[in-house]
Amino acid sequence: MDDDGRVQEHEKAGGKRSGGEDEPVCEGQKKSSRGRKICGLLGAAVLLLAGVSMTYQKEERTYQESGKVIQNPARGFAACADYYDAAKNCSLVYVDITWREWEPAEGRYDFAQVWEDNFLEEWQQAGKQVVLRFVCDVPGEEDHLDIPDWLYELTGADGTHYDGELGRGYSPDYENTAFQEKHEKAIAALGRYFGTGNLVAYVELGSIGHWGEWHLAGDESLSMPEDETCLVYASPYAAAFPNAKLLMRRPYEIAAGLGAGVYNDMAGRKDSTESWLEWINKGDSENIPAVTAMPSIWENYPVGGEFTSSLPMEDMLGADLAQTLSLLERSHMTFLGPNCPVIGYEEYGEAIAQAEKKLGYRFFLAAAKLSGWSWSGRQKLEIQLKNTGTAPFYQNWPLKVYTLDENGSITDSQVMAESLQDLLGQGQKSYQTTVPKKWSSDGNYLAIGIEDPASEQPALLFAQEEAETVLVQVTGR
């Protein structure tokens, strides 16, 4: 029976509670209504004669939400990791690695140079996480290779040097089996260096097409590989990055088995984003590779991307701000980068704040109630938690209640929910548990937090008006 049931039982039976070391029990009590009533009256009489208080105690609090931007893990803007002044203010940093950079000689992976160039030692120490993308073809102003020379020679230079509307470069032959075999080894090596801890939060696939975006354009001689070949390139990522969330440019059918989200590198542009949303909502079996409808993909898998470079940032944050915010909200995006307004757009500060608050989760404790009978050794804690963002928090971090001593040090805790992933954007849920009464007496008080399993400490900031904090006090001073 829950505590509300106990309240009703006390009202009917004069305070008798069935079981529990703190209450008297009638010897030989019968399982009849009359017997329970008599026993309850006798129990109440005993308690009253003993001078025990019979009051039902309740402490309630309500809270207001802050209007400020909250910097929390695994969400928000993701500036280029090698752009120090921009990246230092983000909780996510973006790293793309060309195959040419990663494996300059066959079997030799230049982890040290990638680590140094992107300040990853410092970002890791600061608790930042990485959005990673591995690319084989980046259009530029001059003809060039984004794969290593040894691989170009090994594959017989059987790709295509292109000069089109997007720029110049080299598109490999993705059907080449030697290229596929070496790619699998390169991704496995990426995983060994970057995929074992929690440094990498998201991996954008990556590998195929211009900028790794799974499209080829501007040259009629270029064509995307078939679905089976695309799966050859996508599959190694899941094994290499078991702790990261994978994302693909569109909701391809092959992504369903990988548990991958999606990303949109044209965020802010209405026509392109509407087409992308249509792919998500309706699918496209004629596309290569085939796109399947996944209208609720954001409920289980993250959505990322970056602001389009085809429009001035000043327009997206200025005259077209309402449209920009609507597109972000409808897309349920969790992060944007590397093209994002982190630095150099100070005059658009309020617009930037509005855009960033549309990204990912934003938890706010709306109400809390602690209740119980004065004689009981336990109390019931009920809270109302809101997510005023546009997406869930996709990590399995538990919601916990903590007891703190008069110095503010955590002395104990227990789980209220194993994960908050089912608290969707613009959603609200109730959570409840019972806690020992001593947790909120004798100078102790209760607080709510969301714990990082790695550090075993509360680590997510709540958007509370009183103060942005990782612990929201629900009882006491």
Instruction: Identify the residue whose tokens are 């354009």.
Output: 217
Taking the C-alpha atoms of residue 367 and residue 388, their distance in angstroms, rounded to an integer, is 15
Q: Which residues sit opposite 335 in a β-bridge?
A: 76
DSSP H or E run through 434: strand 427-436
Cα-only R_g, the chain? 28
108 and 34 housed in the same domain: no
pLDDT of residue 414: 97
pLDDT of residue 274: 97
Least Cα distance to 118 among 163, 87, 157, 156 occurs for 87
334 and 437 housed in the same domain: no
> Which of 314, 333, 356 is where one domain is finished?
356
Taking the C-alpha atoms of residue 302 and residue 299, their distance in angstroms, rounded to an integer, is 8
Residue type, 352: I
Taking the C-alpha atoms of residue 74 and residue 77, their distance in angstroms, rounded to an integer, is 10
Segments forming the whole domain that contains residue 420: 58-68+362-477
Taking the C-alpha atoms of residue 397 and residue 392, their distance in angstroms, rounded to an integer, is 12
Mode of pairing for the β-strands spanning 410-417 and 363-373? unpaired
338 and 466 housed in the same domain: no
425 and 467 housed in the same domain: yes
Using CA atoms of 430, 432, 438, 444 in order, give the dihedral in degrees to the nearest 10. -30
311 and 409 housed in the same domain: no
296 and 415 housed in the same domain: no
pLDDT of residue 14: 38
pLDDT of residue 51: 53
Least Cα distance to 474 among 60, 57, 66, 56 occurs for 60
CA 419 to chain centre: 11
pLDDT of residue 30: 40
Count the domains in the chain: 3
DSSP H or E run through 432: strand 427-436
296 and 367 housed in the same domain: no
pLDDT of residue 374: 84
Taking the C-alpha atoms of residue 364 and residue 385, their distance in angstroms, rounded to an integer, is 6
What's this model's pTM, rounded to 2 decimal places?
0.86
Strand order in the sheet with 76-80: 303-307, 261-267, 245-248, 200-205, 129-135, 92-98, 76-80, 335-336
97 and 171 housed in the same domain: yes
303 and 183 housed in the same domain: yes
317 and 404 housed in the same domain: no
Taking the C-alpha atoms of residue 37 and residue 334, their distance in angstroms, rounded to an integer, is 57
223 and 142 housed in the same domain: yes
324 and 401 housed in the same domain: no
Residue ranges of the chain with per-residue pLDDT less than 70: 1-53, 218-219, 477
pLDDT of residue 467: 81
DSSP string, 35-77: HHHHHHHHHHHHHHHTT----EEEEEEE--B--S----TT-EE
